[in-house]
Chains A and B, each alone.
Chain A
Amino acid sequence: MWTELRPVWILVRRELRDQLRDWRIIFPILILALGFPFIMNWTVREMLDFTSEYGASIVADRLVPFLFMVVGFFPISVSLVIALESFAGEKERNSIEPLLNTPLLDWQIYVGKLLASTLMPLLGSYLAMIVYLVGLVNRGISLPQPIIMTQIFLLTTIQAVMMVSGAVVISSQATSVRAANLLSSFIVLPVAFLIQWEALVMFWGNEMTLWWVLLGTFILAVLLSRVGVSHFNREKVLGREIDVLKPAWAWQVFWKQFKGEARSLSEWYVQKVFPTFRELLVPSILTLAIALVGMAIGAYMLQQYPVLVTASKLEQQNLPDIERLRQALLGNQPGMFLLIFWQNLRVLLLSMVLGIFTFGVVGALPIMGTMAAVGFLGAFLSTNQVSLLPILAMIVPHGIFEVPAAIFATAAVLKIGAALATPARDFTIGEVLLRSLADWAKIMVGIVVPLLLVAAFIEAFVTPQLVLAILGS
C-alpha cells in the first residue's frame, strides 16, 4: 500500500512546495485565515448587541455558526483556483508530458493532484475557523454547540474535496487554464446554491437536516472523486478537447446511441429500448427503496408534527357536495388530461436536470418528495379514521401506470450518475454523458411517456367516474 502511495506523496510534496513559493496563493489564504475571521467576530458582536436591543437575539445566535461556516468556506474557495490550474496549467506550460512519461499510474497522478490542490486551502480553512473561535471567546461570545461545530468542520472538509474533485476533472479535460476557468461555473453555481441552502438550514437550526446535507455532499464528493479517477487517463490529458463546442458530433453520438441501426419502431424497441430497460433493474430497485423511504418519512413527519392534524380541523371541513364535485371533475376532461400529463412529465424532466449535476443523487428527490406526500396523506387519513376507499380510488387506477413510470424515469437518471462514475476508457466524459442521455431518452420516449399518457387518460377520464360512483353510493 505504502509503495503505491509513495509516488502520490512525492507528487503532493512537490506541488505543496511550489504553492508555498507562490505568493499569489499564500497571501490570499493567509489574509482569509488570519484577517477575515476578525471581521466576522466584530460582525457577530455588533449583531448580538443590535438584536438584543429588540429581543431578537435568536437571529444573532444563529449567525454565530453560520459565520463559522463562512469563515471556513472562504479559504477553501482558493482550492478551486489551484485545482483548475492543476492539469490545464501544466499543459499550458508544457511540463505535463515529462510527468506523464514517468511510471506513475493514472490514479496516482490524479490523486496526487487532488490532494495537492486540497491540502493548503483546507489547512487555511481550519486555521481561519480556529482564529474565529478564539476571537469569539475573546469577545465573550458563546461558542456554537460542539455538535454544530463538528458538522460545520466536516461540511467544510467535504465541500473542499467536492469542489476540488470537480475542478480537477475539469482541469484534466480542458486544454487551457482559460477554458478550465470558464467551465468552473459548473462547480461555482451548484456550490453557491448549496451554500444558500446550508445557510437556510442553519438559520432554521435543524441539526438533523444538517446531517442529511452532510451525507448528501459526502456522497457527491465521493462520486466526483470517483468520476475523476475513472475518467482520467494520460491520452485525454494530452489530446482531447472539451472547450470546443461540436454540436454535429454531439448529435451524432446521441443519435447513434438512441436509434442505432433500427429501421422500424419494433426494431427500435427490440434493439435499443428493451436492452437498456433491462439494465434498469438495479436502479429501479434502488428507486423503489427511495420511494418507500420517502413514504416512511412522510408518515414520520405527521408523528413529529401532530399540530398539522389539529390545524387541519378536518371535522369542521365541509366537503363539497356531489354535484359541485361532478362539475369540477367532469368539466374539462381533455384539458385535465393534458395538464396531468404535462405536470408529470415536467417533474420527471426536472428530476433529470437535477440528476445530471449531482450524479443522480438529487434526481431522486422529486419521487422521494412525492412519495413522502403520499405517506403523509395516508398517515393523516388513518390518524383521522377517514375511509381510505375514495382515496385509493383516486390514486390506484392511474397510479398503477404513473408510479412505475416515475420509478423507471428516476432509475434512468440514477443510471446516468452511475455511468458518469464508472470507468469508460474508450470514451470521454462528454461521450459518456451523451450516451447516458440517449439511454435516458430511450426509456422516456419508449416506456415512460406511453405510461404517463395512459395514466393521465385514466386520471382524467376514468378516475372521476369511479370517485363519483363511490362517493355517490
Chain B
Amino acid sequence: MIHAEGLTKVFDDFVAVNQVSFSVAEGRVLALLGKNGAGKTTTIRMLSSLLKPTQGSARVAGYDIVREAQKVRASVGVLTEHHGLYSRMSLWEYLEFFGSLYGMTETEVRRRARPLLEEFELNGTEKKRLGEFSKGMRQKLALVRAILHNPPVLMLDEPTSAMDPESARVVRNAIAHMRGQGRTILLCTHNLVEGEELADDVAIIHRGRIILQGALEEVKEQQLGAPEFLARLAHPLNGVALQLPEGVTVTARGEDWVRFQVAHPRVNNPELLRALFHQQVEVLSFQEVPRSLEEVFLKAIRMEKEDVD
C-alpha cells in the first residue's frame, strides 16, 4: 500500500529527508518515530503528494506520488500536525465542504459522518461553530475529516498531541479500529507509548535518515537482545546453582527471584520450567519482562550518535 524507495528532500542546502525507504503492507500500521525536526512531517508531505521529492520515488495505494498526485490525494486521508479549522463554520458545514471536495454528496457525507461523530464522541455538536471547539474536539474533528472519504491509506501526524488522556484514548481506539478494518496507516509520532500500542512495524528516523526499521518485536530483539523472563520463587534459593537448558542464561537473581534471558522462548521456556521442576524449585509466577519501545528508540539514537562521533 505504501512503498517508498530512496526518498530524499532537500530545501536549499538543508537535507530534510535522506534516502528514506520503507514499505507498509495493507492493513498494517507503521509508526514512524523520531524527534522533532527528524523529517517525519516532510516524509508524510512527500507521500501525500504535497512536496515533490528531490530524489527517489514512492507509490501510495498503487499510485506514483509524483505522476499520479491527484489520485494519491484522493486515496489518502491525512491528519496534519497543525490542523487549523475554519472557525466561522459549523461542524456540518466543515465536513460537507471537505466531503464535496472529495466528490461526496451531502447525503453521503451525513451518512458517513454520523457513526464517526459518535465514535469520536462529537455527536450533538453538529451545528456548533468550530471556533467554540476545545483543542481535543478540534483534533478529533480533524481526524473525522481525514477519514470521511473512506480512504484506504491514512497518514497521521501526531494524532494525539496536546490531547487530554480521555480524548487520546478515544483516538487510539479509533486508530486500532481502523487498522482492524484493513486500512494501511502511517503513524508519525514521538509518543513512543502510543507507537508501541498501535504499531505493527516501526521505523526510527533521525536527522532525515531511517536508522532502524522492522516489525516491533524484531526491532526490540535486534536492539535489546533476546527476551527476558522473571521467575518468582516459593522459597529462597540459598545460593543453589541452577542447571539450565541450552539457550537460557541467568541475567540477575535475588533471594526469591531469578531473571532469565531466553534465546527461543517457544522452545526454551517449557524446557526451563521442566528443569526448575526437576530441581525442586517451586515457581510462583513466570512472566516476560516488559521492554519498552522507548528503550529501543533511545538506544538506536545513542548508537547512531556514537557512530557519527
Measuring CB to CB, which residues of chain A are less than 8 angstroms from any residue of chain B? 7, 10-11, 14, 17-18, 21-22, 90, 93-105, 234-235, 238-239, 249
Contact = CB atoms under 8 A, between A and B. Distances in A.
A198 B11 CA distance: 45
B80 A102 contact: no
Chain A interface mostly: helix
Interface in B70-96: 70-71, 73-74, 76, 78, 80, 82-86, 88-89, 93
Interface in B130-149: 142, 145-146
B4 to A, nearest CB: 18
B83 A97 contact: yes
Contacts of B82: 94, 97
21 contacts: A10-B100, A11-B101, A14-B86, A14-B93, A14-B97, A17-B89, A18-B88, A18-B89, A96-B84, A97-B78, A97-B83, A98-B80, A98-B146, A101-B73, A101-B76, A102-B98, A102-B102, A103-B103, A104-B101, A235-B50, A239-B11
B112 interface: no
B48 interface: yes
B242 interface: no
B92 to A, nearest CB: 13
Interface residues of B, number: 31
Given A18-B88, A98-B80, A101-B76, A239 B101 contact: no
A98 B98 contact: yes
Given A10-B97, A10-B100, A235-B52, A102 B73 contact: yes
B97 A100 contact: no
A62 B67 CA distance: 58
Contacts of A93: 84
Given A10-B97, A238-B50, A101 B89 contact: no
A180 B160 CA distance: 33
A399 B54 CA distance: 51
A98 B85 CA distance: 9
Contacts of A235: 50-52
B158 to A, nearest CB: 13
Nearest to B103: A103
A18 B80 contact: no
A101 B80 contact: yes
A103 B50 contact: no
B89 A234 contact: no
A362 B93 CA distance: 46
Nearest to A10: B100
Contacts of B102: 102-103
A81 B89 CA distance: 21
A7 B84 CA distance: 21
Contacts of B70: 103, 105
B88 A234 contact: no
B45 interface: yes
A98 B142 contact: yes
Nearest to A238: B50
Contacts of A17: 88-89, 93
A105 B71 CA distance: 11
A17 B83 CA distance: 20
A22 B98 contact: no
Nearest to B48: A101
A103 to B, nearest CB: 4
A256 B59 CA distance: 36
B50 A95 contact: no
Q: For B50, B71, B78, which residue has the most chain A Cβ atoms within 10 angstroms? A: B50
